[in-house]
Structure 1
Amino acid sequence: MSLFSWCARRSGGLAMIALSVLSYWVISRESAAIRASYKYDPKDNLSAPRYSPNGAGAWTVLYSYYCLLIHVLVFAFPLRACWAIWEMTTTMRKNTSKKSLKDIEFGHRRRGSSTSLSSSETLTSSRASSSASSEAGDLEADFYSDVTTPDAGVQNRVVHAIIIPNYKEEMDTLRETLDVLACHPQARNSYDIYLAMEQRENNADVKAMSLINEFVKKFRAIDFTLHPSDIPNECPGKGSNVDWAARKLSEKYAMGIRKDVIVTGIDADSHLSSSYFTQITAMHLSDPESATTTMYSAPIIFDRNAHSVPAIVRVADIMWCAAGLSGHYIGSTIAPPTSVYSLPLQLVDRVGGWDTDSEAIGEDLHMYLKCFFALNGNLTVRTVISPISQSNVTAGGYGKGVGGIVSDMRARYKQALRHMWGALDTGYALRKFVELWQDRKHTSRTFRPLHSSRDNSAGTYIPDAQLDAITGNLSSEQPVDSGFFSDVTHDVIQGPNYKRLFYLSHRLFEAHFLPVQMTILVVTSTLYMLATEGAEDIHGVSWIFAICKYLRTVGFLEVALYLFLYENFHKIAVNIREKEMNDAGLAKGMNFSHRNLKFNFIDYVMVPLVAPIYGAIPCAQAQICHFWTVDLVYTVSKKVTRQRSKSMKAEALP
């Protein structure tokens, strides 16, 4: 490993140490200079502070302006989140009103069944699936518009390959997720479900076969994959599981239809509305030029068991929702997904699938970065106006007093540490920046289907002369017709988009550096003002710290405003999900967490505690640990399950 790679992986920890050293140097030097400047005045027997020029000098100016920069960034984040959630809420309300005025038969009926994959078939076969041959219509779908639902013939052309990675998940959790997907009217014609099981889980195949037998007639296809536990250099986790499943399912789709296969990775407890896939289908068909270089994502919402977790855990998840939502506003070109996202199989081919090492533990952001750099920053991102329902992390402490609250808080901290462990992606991005600069003039790329090679690299560069000799002057995105290179696709991508690279740098800094940097500066800037109180401001920086105090106050008010705006966002989202579940007959026993401002007023009080406990502290812990290890033991969080399933279990007991 080169020195640059080592430093890049630990950039967050190195930045934390550098700021701590700078802060200590400035405060100690400035306070020492002030103490040395006290002189005895015989007229009034008083000692007056006179600043000595032997302080920290230019380092004080650097420290002060950096403090201002960090405060401006902290001020900007909740402001952007407020704007995004307001736009999202307005659009959802508008779409809901439109749907309430129409009798959309598509939303209340099931189309005829299609051939489903037999439960006895596995993904070891290289047999390819067939696809409808109908032509795409002339659909127009803006980034934030209520997209038009394609007719059945056009929609059936798009196949949604849905991967559900899981490890030691309860059967009720998986069954409930499949029930929700199966109730979608397009499930039988468009959904290929892949249960991504782990070999290291006992009887995982038995669990999968049981679910397949139960749901085999409800989807276009359903199957399972079994991820081996002994692949060299792999880190157990969601990324390695999804990558294995994607490589197996890749065998099932022929070259001619791969561009219309959309791969979606979801958590085992994620509940998606049918509109999620309907919107993606419409957007995919409406813009064929960028369809194969687009990633789709939606905001997440914790609306299942928020009423049964401590307020501090609830607010931590609401702010985590804000982190992802802050990129989903009109005009945003940088919108990393959170947990659930979709991308065309051809884009998965292009980047060589998911990375599986320990650096890729933050699988959603890491895959976004991999696609982003494979396209020189020209990745298209589209927001799906359909929030993903998820469960708050819990240790089952609800109603168990202080001990239960502590156990739930501890469980949420472990998840926060896992999130912050993803700071390794900053190191990955730094290395990709260098590679992109080195290859900035090389825009010809070739790639093969994901299953063709285990070591398929992202966007392999081949000189044009050699490429022409191999492929015979193929046009962009055109595979060779026959021969050994029949599955090779040649494409030409745009040059580096430096504007987006700058924006991405800002978002990565905001996610992986800002929590710790802000905490250090809040403490040290307060100490600096106390140490220099009453002294002459020869550096002319006192105005900076005065502004920083105002920015902190306004930033806190912005967070309160975000929580206030979240009330309507949550209300509309949970009402939409509850109506859809009632229409599907699945609402009985399912969890719906409705917010009440009077009951949830304590959430606003918890904000000052959430930032350090679930932001700065786990971020600092992760970055310190990175100095000696990049491996994190991946654990499965406890999920809330349908009460109906539990009651049925109880009735079945003798």
Structure 2
Amino acid sequence: MGFLTWCSRCATGLSMLVLIGLCYWVISRESMVEQHGFKFEGTSTEGETYSSKTTSIGAGIWTLIFAYYCLLIHFMVAMFPIRACWSIWSITQSLKRGVQSRAMEVYKDAGHRRNSSSSSVASSETLASSNRNGISSTDSELSDSQSEYYVDGKDVPESPIIHAIVIPNYKEEMDTLRETLDVLASHPQAQSCYDVYLGMELRETGGESKALSLIQQFLKRFRSIDYTLHPGDIPGEAAGKGSNMAWAARKLSSKYPMSMRKNVIVTGIDADSHLSSRYFAQISNMHMIHPDTASTTLYAAPIIFDRNAHNVTALVRVADVLWCAAGMSGLYKGSAIAPPTSVYSLPLVLVDRVGGWDCDSDAIGEDLHMFIKCFFALNGHLTCRTVLSPVSQTNVTGGGKGGLRGAYLDIRARYSQALRHMWGALDSGFALRKAAAMWKDRKYTSRAFRPLHRSTSGDNLDAYFPESQVEETSEVPVDNGVFSDITRDTLKEPHWEHIFYMGHRLFEAHFLPLQMLILVVASALYTFVTEGSDDPNNLSWIFSTCNVLRTMGFMEMAVYIFLYESYHRVCVRTREKDMVQAGLADGMCFSHRSLKKNFVDYLLVPLVAPLYGAIPCAQAEIAHFWTADLQYTVSKKALRQRAKSVAVEDIA
């Protein structure tokens, strides 16, 4: 590994050391001035003598840098919850409109059957009908840009879109996988549109027999269902979801001819992810009505922990509520940068273009890593679209059976998961290297690539043909043998505005949690050591403002959790209704929330933020100085429960 590569990999850790050094230098120098009592005596213009502790012995310009950087970090911390609040509010309102639209459609259909004729109702009360794709929307509530989201799977005609759904898993419970497949199989379009691939690991004893058993059970319920066996001894690979996805994607790629590839959407989901039929219907719709960007779009959906939140300790529950905020903060309408969380979809031609998923240690956070890879492969012109169909997830559990020991196991398991999340700080270094490579190749205007299973490298730049070869192949007929599977595409100039936004989001995710903690401590020490002395640089207002911003940040997070109550309620009720209609509700739990009984969640935010944010971030960044490898452990999932819905307020 070269020195520059090492520096990029350790960018977050190096920034931590620089900041600690700056804080130490400023505080120690200012403390020295205060301790030794340096005084300056002089005479004013009126002839009066005065004395002051003002002196040039302090930290000088470094004090200014420290103070204003502290203000910047506090400002960013205060702005993030505002964006999260706006995002969750807008998504919740859109979900409510979608529920109302479907309810109105059911009412209208019932009236149509009852009267055996179509009735005319005022435009503000009816569902405007469908466009050529069979989409329904309420004209009075939805704009043209919003109408694409409100698609009910049962009403969508057969689509030419094929959804290749990959479920990477390792040592997952059979019931967990079966339940996920049950939910997918309940979708009306499953038999015509879903190609399911079980991403099994060869190192799991009995993994293949598990896959064969599931295939036998679900063979007739999907368009197709197959499995892949990922070897665990490939040189240079790191165990995890990314390497499993890479292997499965390369295998499934060979099943789709060139004529079909532009209409194949690849979706990667966790073993415990429950998706509504609306998730895939909306993607199909957006893919078809936006043909200009269909091949360069990544689809992301908000997540919701609504299955076992009532069974885990409040610290874990609040940590996942805040994790939802992190994932949802980029999913508001008009957001240019919308990194996915766990579940996402992208067209197969885009997978071809970037050379598939990476498998090394830097790619342990495969969702953000793949997003960054696609983003820079397109010079910042990646299109992000939000799927307004939240993905149901389970909170991580330590496997305890209640009590103090159970709570401890849950907290420890959630910390391990947080460490894995923060280990993704390696993606900031990955982004720096990709940005450098993009700048180096900024003059290239066209690229050529082959299908994933025909490419020889996982790196997107290496997967392209050199410019000279592109010029040569442009003279060769498309149907000519060896060149028949080459796709040539135009490459736009770098989109610097989007690149700036990407840098901001990565800084917010990987630098901000730890730097905020450092500056909170450092600003308090600085205020303490300079108390009572003069303020020659007029910096006291900065630290007073930081105190206000810090307080605002915690209050804004409380507002976010308050807005989350409504979001959670809409998601749980919608999923519960879907599962009742599918006949699967009896085997599931639905974690309903109650503001009255969940007030403790609001109080735990100041504790949860450092416990699952700054502390694991610090551990990861320090460890990156000597290793990029993390021992990947599979988080325990809540097993399928044969019980009726349990409300959070029922828990003591």
Please confirm whether the aligned pair reaches a TM-score higher than 0.5, indicating the same fold: yes
Match of 2:571 among 564, 570, 573: 573
Q: Would you say how many aligned residue pairs link Structure 1 and Structure 2?
A: 608
2:396 alignment counterpart: 393
Match of 2:628 among 616, 630, 633: 630
1:416 aligns with 2:414: no
2:200 alignment counterpart: 197
SS of the aligned residue for 2:262 comes to: helix
Deviation string, structure 1 residues 196-247 (Cα, Å, up to 9, x no partner): 0000000111000000000001000000000011111100100000110000
SS of the aligned residue for 2:330 comes to: coil
1:350 aligns with 2:353: yes
Q: Contact 2:307–2:590 at 8 Å: present in 1 too?
A: yes
CA distance in 1, matches of 2:381, 2:505: 16
CA distance in 1, matches of 2:290, 2:158: 14
Structure-2 change in CA distance of 1:138 and 1:488 (3 Å): farther
CA distance in 2, matches of 1:187, 1:640: 25
Per the TM alignment, residue 149 of structure 1 is displaced from its structure 2 partner at its CA by 6.2
Equivalent positions of 1:270-285 (< 5 A) are 270-285=273-288
1:310 alignment counterpart: 313
Q: Contact 1:362–1:419 at 8 Å: present in 2 too?
A: yes
SS of the aligned residue for 2:345 comes to: strand
Structure-2 change in CA distance of 1:62 and 1:234 (3 Å): same
2:240 alignment counterpart: 237
Q: Contact 1:369–1:429 at 8 Å: present in 2 too?
A: yes
1:208 aligns with 2:206: no
CA distance in 2, matches of 1:438, 1:323: 32
CA distance in 2, matches of 1:541, 1:40: 20
Q: Contact 1:376–1:494 at 8 Å: present in 2 too?
A: yes
1:100 aligns with 2:103: yes
Q: Contact 2:153–2:188 at 8 Å: present in 1 too?
A: no
Q: Contact 1:183–1:584 at 8 Å: present in 2 too?
A: yes
CA distance in 1, matches of 2:192, 2:61: 67
2:221 alignment counterpart: 218
CA distance in 1, matches of 2:144, 2:210: 40
CA distance in 2, matches of 1:152, 1:463: 46
Per the TM alignment, residue 540 of structure 1 is displaced from its structure 2 partner at its CA by 1.6
1:323 aligns with 2:320: no
The letter for the 1-side match of 2:405 is G
1:115 alignment counterpart: none
Q: Contact 2:296–2:347 at 8 Å: present in 1 too?
A: yes
2:37 alignment counterpart: 37
**Consecutive unaligned residues in structure 1, runs of 5 or more:** 42-46, 107-135, 475-479, 647-654
Q: Contact 1:515–1:615 at 8 Å: present in 2 too?
A: yes
1:131 alignment counterpart: none
SS of the aligned residue for 1:343 comes to: strand
CA distance in 1, matches of 2:83, 2:162: 34
CA distance in 2, matches of 1:144, 1:540: 53
SS of the aligned residue for 1:101 comes to: helix
Per the TM alignment, residue 256 of structure 1 is displaced from its structure 2 partner at its CA by 0.5
Match of 1:70 among 64, 69, 73: 73
CA distance in 1, matches of 2:352, 2:207: 28
CA distance in 2, matches of 1:77, 1:409: 25
Equivalent positions of 1:356-367 (< 5 A) are 356-367=359-370
2:448 alignment counterpart: 446
1:252 alignment counterpart: 255
CA distance in 2, matches of 1:150, 1:36: 75
2:479 alignment counterpart: 481
2:160 alignment counterpart: 157
Deviation string, structure 1 residues 379-437 (Cα, Å, up to 9, x no partner): 000000011000000012342x2221111100000000000000000000001111111
Per the TM alignment, residue 144 of structure 1 is displaced from its structure 2 partner at its CA by 7.3
Runs of 4+ in 1 over 3 A off after TM superposition: 38-41, 136-141, 143-155, 459-466
CA distance in 2, matches of 1:214, 1:22: 62
1:23 alignment counterpart: 23
1:500 alignment counterpart: 498
Q: Contact 1:91–1:144 at 8 Å: present in 2 too?
A: no
The letter for the 1-side match of 2:583 is G
SS of the aligned residue for 1:588 comes to: helix
CA distance in 2, matches of 1:386, 1:507: 23
Structure-2 change in CA distance of 1:353 and 1:104 (3 Å): farther
The letter for the 2-side match of 1:187 is A
CA distance in 2, matches of 1:437, 1:201: 42
Deviation string, structure 1 residues 353-373 (Cα, Å, up to 9, x no partner): 000000000000000000000
Structure-2 change in CA distance of 1:623 and 1:153 (3 Å): closer
Q: Contact 1:64–1:544 at 8 Å: present in 2 too?
A: yes
CA distance in 2, matches of 1:49, 1:499: 48
Per the TM alignment, residue 154 of structure 1 is displaced from its structure 2 partner at its CA by 6.3
CA distance in 2, matches of 1:165, 1:247: 13
Q: Contact 2:396–2:413 at 8 Å: present in 1 too?
A: yes
CA distance in 1, matches of 2:51, 2:317: 52
The letter for the 2-side match of 1:590 is M
Percentage of pairs with the same residue: 59
The letter for the 1-side match of 2:17 is I
Could you state the TM-score of these two structures normalised by the residue count of structure 1? 0.90
2:343 alignment counterpart: 340
Which deviates further from its counterpart, 634-643 or 370-379?
634-643
The letter for the 2-side match of 1:536 is D
CA distance in 2, matches of 1:347, 1:374: 9
Equivalent positions of 1:134-153 (< 5 A) are 142=145, 145-148=148-151
Q: Contact 1:445–1:492 at 8 Å: present in 2 too?
A: yes
SS of the aligned residue for 1:327 comes to: coil
Per the TM alignment, residue 463 of structure 1 is displaced from its structure 2 partner at its CA by 5.9
CA distance in 2, matches of 1:610, 1:151: 41
Match of 1:369 among 357, 369, 372: 372
CA distance in 2, matches of 1:179, 1:354: 27
CA distance in 2, matches of 1:352, 1:466: 18
CA distance in 1, matches of 2:641, 2:333: 39
Q: Contact 1:34–1:49 at 8 Å: present in 2 too?
A: no
2:514 alignment counterpart: 516
The letter for the 1-side match of 2:271 is A
CA distance in 1, matches of 2:156, 2:608: 49
SS of the aligned residue for 1:312 comes to: helix
Could you state the TM-score of these two structures normalised by the residue count of structure 2? 0.90
Deviation string, structure 1 residues 11-47 (Cα, Å, up to 9, x no partner): 1110111100100000000010122235699xxxxx9
CA distance in 1, matches of 2:222, 2:357: 25
2:13 alignment counterpart: 13
Over the residues paired in the alignment, what is the CA RMSD in angstroms? 2.3
CA distance in 1, matches of 2:440, 2:154: 46
The letter for the 1-side match of 2:558 is A
SS of the aligned residue for 1:396 comes to: coil
